[in-house]
Amino acid sequence: MSDEFVEAVRLVYEERLDDLCSVVAAITRDRDGARDVVHEAFASALRSRGQYRGEGDLAAWIWRIVVNRARDQRRRRHADVVESVLEHVEDAAARPDRSGDGRLAAAVQALPERQRLVVFLRYYADLDYRQIGEVLGIATGTVSAALNAAHLTLGRQLNEVEQ
């Protein structure tokens, strides 16, 4: 690895660390972990220096790596949260509902994933729309739309069974 390249990367690091950490924190919504993501991105930049052809600005190339790492981190965290919530949804679905016959639990379990998650977080975890949006990484309006769609689907399914 050329000393010039390493020195140029070090300068970008020293000059832009705070800005990079702020952007990563905004993307990941994790101020505490932002510095780790930036460090990983710089290590990746040094390992993949052969991909930098020197045609563009080195700082811009590093910014791209940092932003991509932050987005990957956000996706991983989101996937972990969704997996954890789905486990709770499955546990709740296994318990008998108030009707005692399991129809509601089965209907909730049959919903598409996003609707199932929103229903669980709203009615089992008692979160408000804003909190649900934060947990799932979606807009509050999307939470509202998903919950409305779930209500319509559940209403149709439960009414079909009763008739």
Condensed to tens digits (0 to 9), the pLDDT of residues 53-96 reads 877 788 888 988 988 898 888 878 777 766 776 676 666 655 55
- The pTM of the full predicted model, rounded to 2 decimals, is 0.54
Mean pLDDT of 2-31: 88
What's the N-to-C CA distance of the chain in angstroms?
Answer: 74
For 3-75, give the CATH class.
Answer: mainly alpha
Question: Same CATH topology for 3-75 and 95-162?
Answer: no
Domain-wise residue ranges, the chain: 3-75, 95-162
Task: Note the residue count of the chain.
Answer: 163
CATH topology for 95-162 is Arc Repressor Mutant, subunit A (1.10.10)
Contacts of 51 (CB under 8 A, 6+ apart): none
Ramachandran bin of 86, using left for φ above 0, alpha for ψ from -120 to 50, beta for the remaining angles = alpha
Give percent helix, percent strand, percent coil of the chain, each to the nearest 5.
80, 0, 20
Helix (H, G, I), strand (E, B) or coil at 4: helix
Cα dihedral sign, 45-46-50-52: positive
Mean pLDDT of 136-144: 89
Torsion angle defined by CA atoms of residues 147, 153, 155 and 160, in that order, rounded to the nearest 10 degrees: -170
CA-based angle 22:144:154, to the nearest 5?
A: 135
